Structure 1
Amino acid sequence: MDVRMFTLGMIQENAFLVRRPGASEAVIIDPGDEAPKLLAAFEELGVTLAGILVTHTHFDHIGAVADLHDATGAEVWCPAGEVEILRDPNAVMRWEGFGPFRGYDPEHLVKGGDVVSLAGFDFQVVSTPGHSPDHVTYALPDEGALFSGDVLFQGSVGRTDLPGADHATLMASIGSLLDRFDDATTVYPGHMGPTTLGRERQTNPFVLQILGA
């Protein structure tokens, strides 16, 4: 698996381009901003976009979705419970100094238990609410990879002081990831750098609290 991380915008959000090594098709996860930068990278790599996956609909994760679709024709997969936000982000995202944002009506809605087959991968959709009401994680177990959005970070977790967030729900979601995937699994998060479940199990104070350590 070839994973390229792009850190984008004022919030320094991570988008991930995923493909088979040398493949001409790729998937982008959470393109939050700077569509021209992403499009230039696609051209340099010689890839076409097979799909756009969204973990949740906070503005820093969806800011380039509409522009990428317009430029590439790639269809969009969005958590079903947050589709109205993607359709009209400015109705709920009133952050001083940010926006306005282009909305998009996605072609596909996902929920936990679904499988999204794109670019030679079968992305398992894992329900991981807490940071947002219907947040999902995209898992590739055979590749040992989780694209966790804003659920789990290096030494931290997603914030829960936003509308629709809930700390206990987020902790339960993280616990479900720890139960389901092994410690060697690489976590590709929406902010900061990649980590592993094993590293977070040993060092993350929030995870240690979940484990009762």
Structure 2
Amino acid sequence: MSGTSTNQEQPIVACITVGMLEENCYLYACPQTREAVIIDPGDEAPRILEAIKELQIIPKYIINTHGHFDHTGAIDEVSAVYPVPLAIHPADVYMYTDERISKRYNLKHPLVEREPDILLKEGDRFTIGVLTLEVVETPGHSRGGVCLISQPYCVFSGDTLFYRGIGRTDLEGGDYEQLIQSIRNKLYTLTEDLFVFPGHGEPSTIEEEKHENPFVTIEE
């Protein structure tokens, strides 16, 4: 477990980097109630479960920023211990049971056995203690890509925006122009001091990426 913040007044943020693609699973919790959301449990379920235990948090939701296997592979194992509502955008639900993906990467089929309980859409809100996560649709990396904004603290950007990078658009459902517009119109318009917690790699801020990201420049 890395990148853990447990300041008594700040949200609890724990990053567990898992799997062969080094995907970032996040635990985001209210410091007062210890209620939490599990974001993108992609692999190595025992490590995720151990982190939940160590932090003494209470999962209320599992949320996927998108449906790629490296972000969903541990859902069933985690759900066996914490059978909380599962949320994903409807455009990416098919990836849970897409046999082509399982065969291509030699993964179990179906990749995710349980069905989602919540189909995400723009403006949906999740409350965990005193914290709120708002869903913003950011297609481009996949058709159903979303980011999760928690004002005034952070945004979980999935594979939309990285530290000095952007998500791939050469996979099924990817669209380069759509991704660029998602970043410019949905993320770069956010408060600049928000931390950006991406699906891979190290964290950043909105301000840093607006000025330093070589792939998406600010339109004058």
TM-score normalized by the length of structure 1: 0.91
Tell me which residue corresponds to 1:163. 172
Against the structure 1 CA distance between its residues 11 and 98, is the aligned structure 2 distance closer, same or farther, given a 3 Å change threshold? farther
Tell me which residue corresponds to 1:173. 182
Tell me which residue corresponds to 1:207. 216
Q: Percent identity?
A: 36
Tell me which residue corresponds to 2:15. 5
CA shift, 1:116, in A, is 2.0
Tell me which residue corresponds to 2:72. 62
Instruction: Map 1:42-57; keep pairs closer than 5 Å.
Output: 42-57=52-67
* Residue in structure 2 matching 1:104, options 103, 114, 129: 114
Instruction: Map 1:88-127; keep pairs closer than 5 Å.
Output: 88-100=97-109, 101-127=111-137
Q: Which runs of 5+ in 2 are unaligned?
A: 1-10
Equivalent position SS for 1:7:
strand
* CA offsets 1:97-117 (integer angstroms, 9 cap, x no match): 555533320111111121122
Contact 2:69 2:95 in 1 (8 A): no
Equivalent position SS for 1:61:
helix
- Letter of the 1:198 counterpart: E
Paired positions, count: 209
Contact 1:89 1:102 in 2 (8 A): no
Alpha-carbon RMSD across the aligned residues, in angstroms, is 1.7
- Letter of the 1:173 counterpart: S
Equivalent position SS for 1:201:
helix
Alpha-carbon distance in 1 for matches of 2:85, 2:100: 23
Alpha-carbon distance in 2 for matches of 1:96, 1:41: 27
Tell me which residue corresponds to 1:193. 202
* CA offsets 1:22-52 (integer angstroms, 9 cap, x no match): 5432111111111111111111222221110
Alpha-carbon distance in 1 for matches of 2:105, 2:73: 15
Against the structure 1 CA distance between its residues 109 and 32, is the aligned structure 2 distance closer, same or farther, given a 3 Å change threshold? same
Q: Name whichever structure is richer in helix by fraction.
A: 1
Against the structure 1 CA distance between its residues 178 and 68, is the aligned structure 2 distance closer, same or farther, given a 3 Å change threshold? closer
- Letter of the 1:187 counterpart: V
Alpha-carbon distance in 2 for matches of 1:8, 1:73: 21
Tell me which residue corresponds to 2:42. 32
Equivalent position SS for 1:180:
coil
* CA offsets 1:37-73 (integer angstroms, 9 cap, x no match): 1111111222221110110000000011111111111
Q: After alignment, is 14-23 or 51-60 more displaced? A: 14-23
Against the structure 1 CA distance between its residues 17 and 205, is the aligned structure 2 distance closer, same or farther, given a 3 Å change threshold? same
Equivalent position SS for 2:94:
helix
TM-score normalized by the length of structure 2: 0.88
CA shift, 1:153, in A, is 0.5
Asked if residue 130 in structure 1 is aligned to residue 135 in structure 2, the reply is no
Tell me which residue corresponds to 1:77. 87
